[in-house]
């Protein structure tokens, strides 16, 4: 891989940027897929109210620019040697902005945010949902279309964008007014970065990110008009959905000094799946970071679940579409970080010795549900709790209880995935992120 500039060949590189829940990282890769330079910065979450988790859009933008420039500098190369840019982002974190000015109407509302939990619970218990599920069951009985079976098992979750977006449209007057005039853009982090990088020329996302919002029909491969109509979300605000590997345009020359092609956008968990070479049906990827995400490759068919596994588009390259079934436990890393902030330990490496220093948790139980409980329990209002405390309880007992609860949730997730999909496991890849 090289570029012909000024009559001679120079080595060329690819930029890869990941915008996660806790950090933004950029790597410069050479033609051998070796990392030549890196840079990272922290993402600072905002907690304006109990249950609200937000991120400052400008801080995300500035962090993105900082790590790109920092990684290129660390690699000792020039921007003119960068052949392409690829972006992976956390999913389900979104904002809305003015189509004309590009100015956000509000902060990013994080995938961890619980402001719509009551709304989700109300809808899941509503007569409307019961009626829809009943009708879809009948239609499935006659047609045997899997998308109707999936609709008959539909359960909303606060982790999906749907009702957090409904909340924003209800509570932010500017968003509502702009949407009514056709001047509102909705986007997850990838979409907003594309809009900023191209100076408003591109309002797009890819299938992997779109499918993780909860508003996208993975069977029809388009935004769900039925669901959007049901919850009063105007389709005009949604970005165009493109292939994962696609020419999204160029960065504006004013940003990095010259235009850089943006050649791929992908959601973080799907990116991890692809990066671990889980290309075959039955391949499993388990990622443990802020939460645990377990994905299984289901091939060219979306999975229909009765236990809370979600059908996702893994990636779409050319005409090939790869689907995944995903379950998650949202609070793996969150629980460990919470325990550390309580000063149960100072370094995570201490936890193993502390847990093994006692024979059991002394009857202490911990429920790791700061963001509700996901598959297979699917209770968005479940609260984190410690039970069974006694005068004899020590820090070691607490640490053991926390680690045991996290391990149990991960095993529960694994068992649910195996039971639900009936797909023989061909290989398992695990990734751990601090």
pLDDT at 70 over 50: yes
- 409-421 confidence digits (pLDDT tens): 888 888 887 777 7
Higher pLDDT, 141 or 40: 40
CB neighbour list of residue 357: distance below 8 Å, 6 or more residues apart:
396
Contact assessment for residue 245 and residue 317, using Cβ atoms and an 8 Å cutoff:
yes
- 228-286 confidence digits (pLDDT tens): 999 999 999 999 999 999 999 999 999 999 999 999 999 999 999 999 999 999 999 98
**What letter would DSSP give residue 291?**
S
Contact assessment for residue 369 and residue 382, using Cβ atoms and an 8 Å cutoff:
yes
CB atoms within 10 A of CB 6: 6
Contact assessment for residue 186 and residue 139, using Cβ atoms and an 8 Å cutoff:
no
* Alpha helices (runs of H) in 181-301, residue ranges in sequence order: 189-197, 207-211, 225-230, 253-256, 268-275
Among 45-49, 164-168, 307-311, 400-404, the minimum mean pLDDT is found in 307-311
Rounded to whole angstroms, the Cα distance separating 191 from 60 reads 13
> For position 47, what pLDDT does the model report?
96
Contact assessment for residue 136 and residue 145, using Cβ atoms and an 8 Å cutoff:
no
- 384-399 confidence digits (pLDDT tens): 888 999 999 999 999 9
Beta bridge partners of 86: 16, 264
CB neighbour list of residue 69: distance below 8 Å, 6 or more residues apart:
39, 256
pTM, whole model, 2 decimals?
0.84
Domains of the chain, first to last? 13-114+164-270 (3.30.420.40), 117-157 (no CATH), 277-433 (3.30.420.40)
Beta bridge partners of 245: 264
Where b means 16+ CB within 10 Å and e means fewer, 325-359 reads bbbbbbbbbbbbbebbeeebbeeeeebeebbeebe
């Amino acid at each position: 891989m090289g570029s012909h500039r000024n009559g001679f060949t120079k080595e060329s590189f690819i930029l890869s940027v990941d915008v996660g829940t806790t950090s933004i990282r950029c790597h410069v890769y050479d033609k051998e897929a070796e990392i030549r330079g890196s840079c990272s910065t922290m993402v600072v979450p905002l907690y304006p109210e109990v249950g609200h988790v937000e991120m400052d859009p400008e801080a995300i933008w500035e962090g993105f620019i900082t790590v790109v420039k920092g990684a290129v500098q660390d690699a000792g190369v020039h921007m003119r040697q960068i052949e392409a840019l690829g972006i992976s982002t956390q999913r389900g974190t979104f904002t809305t902005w003015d189509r004309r000015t590009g100015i956000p109407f509000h902060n990013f509302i994080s995938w961890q945010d619980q402001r719509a939990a009551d709304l989700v619970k109300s809808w899941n218990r509503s007569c409307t949902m019961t009626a829809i599920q009943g009708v879809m069951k009948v239609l499935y009985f006659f047609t045997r279309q899997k998308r109707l079976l999936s609709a008959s098992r539909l359960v909303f979750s606060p982790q999906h964008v749907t009702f957090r977006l409904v909340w924003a449209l209800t509570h932010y007057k500017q968003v509502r007014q702009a949407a009514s005039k056709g001047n509102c853009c909705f986007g997850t982090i990838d979409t907003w970065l594309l809009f900023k990088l191209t100076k408003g020329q591109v309002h797009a996302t890819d299938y992997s990110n779109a499918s993780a919002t909860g508003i996208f029909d993975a069977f029809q491969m388009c935004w769900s008009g039925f669901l959007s109509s049901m919850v009063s979300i105007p389709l005009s605000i949604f970005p165009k959905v493109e292939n994962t590997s696609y020419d999204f345009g160029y960065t504006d020359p004013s940003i990095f000094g010259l235009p850089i092609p943006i050649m791929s956008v992908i959601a973080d968990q799907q990116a991890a799946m692809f990066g671990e070479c889980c290309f075959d049906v039955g391949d499993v990827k388990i990622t443990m970071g802020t939460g645990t995400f377990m994905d299984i490759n289901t091939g060219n068919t979306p999975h229909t679940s009765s236990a809370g596994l979600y059908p996702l588009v893994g990636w779409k390259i050319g005409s090939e579409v790869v689907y995944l079934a995903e379950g998650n436990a949202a609070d793996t890393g969150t629980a460990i970080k919470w325990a550390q902030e309580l000063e149960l330990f100072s370094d995570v490496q201490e936890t193993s010795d502390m847990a093994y220093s006692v024979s059991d948790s002394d009857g202490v139980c911990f429920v790791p549900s700061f963001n509700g409980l996901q598959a297979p329990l699917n209770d968005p209002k479940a609260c984190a709790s410690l039970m069974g405390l006694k005068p004899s309880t020590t820090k070691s007992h607490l640490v053991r209880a926390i680690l045991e609860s996290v391990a149990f949730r991960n095993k529960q997730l694994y068992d649910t995935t195996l039971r639900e999909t009936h797909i023989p496991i061909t290989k398992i890849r695990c990734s751990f992120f601090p």
